[in-house]
Amino acid sequence: DHDGVFGLGRVATDDEIAAWDIDVRPDGTGLPVGRGTVADGEVLYTDNCAVCHGDFGEAVGRWPVLAGGHDTLTDERPEKTIGSYWPYLSTVYDYVRRAMPFGNARSLSDDDVYAITAYLLYLNDIVDDENFELSNENFAEVRLPNEDNFIPDDRLKEPHYADKKEACMTDCKPGPVEITMRARVLDVTPEGGDDDESV
Amino acid sequence: MYTIREERVSNKPKDNREGAVTSRRRFLQAGIAGGATLATAAMARAEGDPLITEVQDWNRYLGAGVDETPYGMPSEYEAHVVRRDVPWLTADPVSSVNFTPLHELDGIITPNGLCFERHHGGTAIIDPADHRLMINGLVDTPLVFTMQDLMRFPRENRVYFLECAANSGMEWRGSQLNGCQFTHGMVHCVVYTGVPLKHLLAEAGVKTSGKWVLAEGADASAMTRSIPMEKALDDCLVAFKMNGEALRPEQGYPVRLVVPGWEGNMWVKWLRRLEVGDQPWAQREETSKYTDLLANGKARRHTWVMDVKSVITSPSPQAPITHGRGQTVISGLAWSGYGTIKRVDVSLDGGRNWHEARIDGPSLPKALHRFYYDFNWDGSELLLQSRAIDERGYIQPTKNELRAARGENSIYHNNGIQTWYVQADGVVENVEVS
């Protein structure tokens, strides 16, 4: 039903595209019409999210931490959360709508996702008003703190790549080489199937 | 990985002496078993090997008929050659990873059943009759294809490695996992059969404003990644076969994206949609994940290419030397997302002196290369390293060079040189050296 190089496939209908094309870009392109408040989000979050992510986004067990970690990105152990690390709020909306709750994806309404996104802003101290309402109209006004800290891939400017020297073949290090760290001392490698040393 | 709670990856006790003793005992037991084998062999030489002088069962009795295993499996004596996982790495086995047993494999092709798995919502089970692939966005005609439609486009066969961006990621802070399966096993290499992505895009007609392609999976994570149009039109494939047979379910059956040389996360499995746009989408897997935090708090994004890398697969911690001194084969893998591997060097002394290894078998761009270094082991301790150089002249860096440039919190893209400490008894250990 279409022209084309090979004449294969058929034209996608508008409903089909709407059903699958749910991605949202940082400029807000793709956002559905809708809205939700922090207060609504707290209820939804408590019912659908807190079992893994904790009541305050602090996480249960090893599930992802969603809030906190501000100013830790240069620490020895950074805490990378929505508030401390993620560049764009669009990613929060998109990902929650696309893939959460884990094990029951696509179960939240568009308004539910706005409300949960608003609550995640609240948990991250990016909004402080429980009556704050996030909608497709004010969405693009919200900026996350770490947006400006992402840079393009510049690996090839690193000295070991930029200086394409001949590889040293002989006497490349002075004196004997010393062992500085041993995985066996750490001992966290799974071994046979009958034990559990994996901590 | 490290996706779920990468920071926990290195939160292991740093000085678990009790654990070390336990582990040491295991290695010694393995050594004793090897010694017993040698003793039996010596006796056999004196009196005549009963495996030769006595008729064996398999020489007397009939074996299985041809219809015993319609889909064959490896010998029962290869039961240890399996994918393994590291449970503490991730919060849940559904959004998790396992590892190819590189230490047991040779050549450059990974058997389908041993290719490492990485899922974010488990393995989707999809009847190919129910699968659809949509192209929409900045195209002249948005299209829907069935699998039957896809099978009517012109096909290509290509051999490529697929390496997880996080391969070796647990080793950024130092030696942690004892075995190349665990330190380097998030890689595999198969022959893909598929349709060039450019054919599908041409069928829909990309508008001149179309600069990016969003690939999306049909699984419960609905995995998405933004791919620049230049790459999409270059060498990406929409693949439905691996090593001649249909994709395995865990590898995206019935159809996946192949993004040669680029980080495995972009090779979207269970591919259901391709959207053309004029900007990247900044999806979760290219913002929260698969961005590389540097020591200064900045993070690189769009670090797509997998750099030049290699590892000695044997000897290695899971493949100790059990034959004693004398002729010894060092076997390993090298690869680069920039093309072919031009040379691999091997060091026996922790990088002080290097010897050119022998690359054997096909040398294909963006594919695994097999190298060997054959030498006479005198039984002394060794610090084995391999160093790959690709066709662009990029030399595999040391871990310390990478850390100097990036710090220790990048998680992804650790292609640093691996060191194996071979002890006099043939036991091999993952170490770092000065």
Among A6-20, A47-61, B83-97, B142-156, the minimum mean pLDDT is found in B83-97
**Cα separation values, B165 from B53, B97, B227, B243, B291, Å:** 53, 12, 15, 23, 10
Chain A, nearest residue to B295 by Cα: A74
Is residue A196 scored above 60 in pLDDT? no
Q: Which of A102, A114, A48 is nearest to B222 (CA)?
A: A102
Parallel/antiparallel/unpaired status of strands B358-360 and B369-377: antiparallel
- pLDDT value of position B34: 46
The more confidently predicted of residues B418 and B18 is B418
Alpha helices in A63-197 (DSSP H): 89-99, 110-123, 159-162, 183-186
- Looking at the complex, does the CB of residue B5 fall below 8 Å from at least one CB of chain A? yes
- pLDDT value of position B283: 98
Q: What is the CA radius of gyration of chain A?
A: 24
| Tokens 């929060």 belong to residue | A92
Interval A98-154: pLDDT, tens: 999 999 999 999 999 999 999 999 999 999 999 999 999 999 999 999 999 999 999
Is residue B24 scored above 50 in pLDDT? no
- pLDDT value of position B41: 59
Domains of chain B from N-terminus onward: 94-301 (3.90.420.10), 309-431 (2.60.40.650)
- pLDDT value of position B37: 53
| Tokens 């082991």 belong to residue | B377
Supply the mean pLDDT for chain B.
91
Is residue A189 scored above 90 in pLDDT? no
User: Dihedral sign, CA of A60, A61, A62, A65?
Assistant: positive
Residue A19 belongs to what H/E stretch?
Answer: helix A14-20
Q: List CB contacts (< 8 A) between A69 and chain B.
A: none
Chain B, nearest residue to A198 by Cα: B88
Report how far apart the first and last C-alpha atoms of chain A are (Å, whole number). 59
Euclidean distance between CA atoms B395 and B385, whole angstroms = 14
Q: List CB contacts (< 8 A) between B214 and chain A.
A: 23
Query: How far apart are the CA of B191 and the nearest CA of chain A, in angstroms?
Result: 25
- pLDDT value of position A186: 74
Complex prediction ipTM = 0.94
Is residue B363 scored above 80 in pLDDT? yes
Euclidean distance between CA atoms B374 and B324, whole angstroms = 15
- pLDDT value of position B16: 37
Instruction: Name the token pair of A67.
Output: 């809030």
Q: What is the mean pLDDT of residues B357-386?
A: 98
Q: What is the CA angle B260-B266-B270, rounded to 5?
A: 105
Q: CB–CB of A153 and B17 under 8 A? A: no
Cis before residue A101, ω within 30 degrees of 0?
A: yes
Is residue B42 scored above 70 in pLDDT? no
pLDDT tier at B39, thresholds 50, 70, 90: low
Do the beta carbons of residue A118 and residue A134 sit within 8 Å?
yes
Is residue B30 scored above 50 in pLDDT? no
Supply the mean pLDDT for chain A.
93
Q: What is the CA radius of gyration of chain B?
A: 23
Query: What is the percentage of chain A residues whose pLDDT exceeds 90?
Result: 85
Q: Most A CBs within 10 Å: which of B18, B284, B394, B432, as the mutation test of the A interface?
A: B284
Among A3-7, A87-91, B8-12, B126-130, the minimum mean pLDDT is found in B8-12
Q: List CB contacts (< 8 A) between A108 and chain B.
A: none
Q: What is the mean pLDDT of residues B403-425?
A: 97
Within the 290-349 window of chain B, which residues sit less than 8 Å (CB to CB) from chain A? 291, 293, 295-305, 307, 317, 345, 349
Interval B265-310: pLDDT, tens: 999 999 999 999 999 999 999 999 999 999 999 999 999 999 999 9
Interval B120-177: pLDDT, tens: 999 999 999 999 999 999 999 999 999 999 999 999 999 999 999 999 999 999 998 9
Q: CB–CB of B8 and A62 under 8 A? A: yes
- pLDDT value of position B56: 97
If phi > 0 it is left, if psi is from -120 to 50 it is alpha, else beta; for residue B26 that is alpha
Q: What is the mean pLDDT of residues A33-51?
A: 98
Q: CB–CB of B221 and A191 under 8 A? A: no
| Tokens 């609504």 belong to residue | A40
- Looking at the complex, does the CB of residue B14 fall below 8 Å from at least one CB of chain A? yes
Alpha helices in B220-302 (DSSP H): 229-234
Is residue A75 scored above 60 in pLDDT? yes
Is residue B36 scored above 60 in pLDDT? no
Euclidean distance between CA atoms B189 and B196, whole angstroms = 18
- Give pTM, 2 decimals: 0.92
Q: What is the mean pLDDT of residues B380-399?
A: 98
Q: List CB contacts (< 8 A) between A76 and chain B.
A: 408
Is residue B31 scored above 60 in pLDDT? no
